[in-house]
């Protein structure tokens, strides 16, 4: 049983560009959450998707958007990249209504 997978592993972008990160949840999980983790800090909640809708959102600007597909996989899109968006982006999945989350290995985004 594959766990949570994320792609790509690493990504380098230039300021002002747009990026799309992808996540496939663990088998049997239908809820996907995204987190941003800056170096030396804890993961910060971006948003959560369930039944293809954004259910919860953290304190992130509208430049951060997402999508969940019928197969429960998810994408995180970030527009107009800033240097401060450089971070490890983590995806976590869980069964609906159960809070135990399984995290993917993350995507390391560097904005230059």
Decide whether 56 or 112 has the Cβ nearer to other proteins: 56
Give the residue from 63, 54, 8 showing the smallest Cα distance to 33.
54
Total chain residues near other proteins (CB under 8 A): 25
On the 0-12 / 13-18 / 19+ scale of CB atoms within 10 A, 79 is: middle
Q: Which part of the chain contacts other proteins (CB under 8 A), choosing from 20-28, 36-44, 61-69, 73-81? A: 36-44
Decide whether 45 or 86 has the Cβ nearer to other proteins: 45
Decide whether 78 or 106 has the Cβ nearer to other proteins: 106
Q: Provide the total of helices (H) and of strands (E) in the chain, helices listed first.
A: 0, 11
Q: Which residues of 61-103 form beta strands (DSSP E)?
A: 64-68, 74-78, 87-94, 102-103
| Positions in the binding site for other proteins (CB under 8 A) | 4, 33, 35, 40-45, 48, 55-56, 58, 88, 90, 92, 99-106, 108
């Amino acid at each position: 049983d594959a766990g949570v997978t994320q792609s790509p592993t690493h990504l380098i972008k230039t300021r002002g560009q747009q990026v799309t990160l992808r996540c496939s949840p663990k088998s049997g999980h239908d809820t996907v959450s995204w987190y941003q983790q800056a170096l030396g800090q804890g993961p910060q909640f971006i948003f959560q998707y369930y039944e293809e809708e954004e259910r919860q959102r953290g304190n992130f600007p509208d430049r951060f958007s997402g999508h969940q597909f019928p197969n429960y996989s998810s994408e995180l899109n970030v527009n107009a990249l800033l240097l401060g968006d450089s971070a490890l982006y983590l995806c976590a999945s869980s069964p609906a209504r159960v809070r135990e989350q399984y995290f993917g290995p993350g995507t390391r985004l560097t904005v230059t």
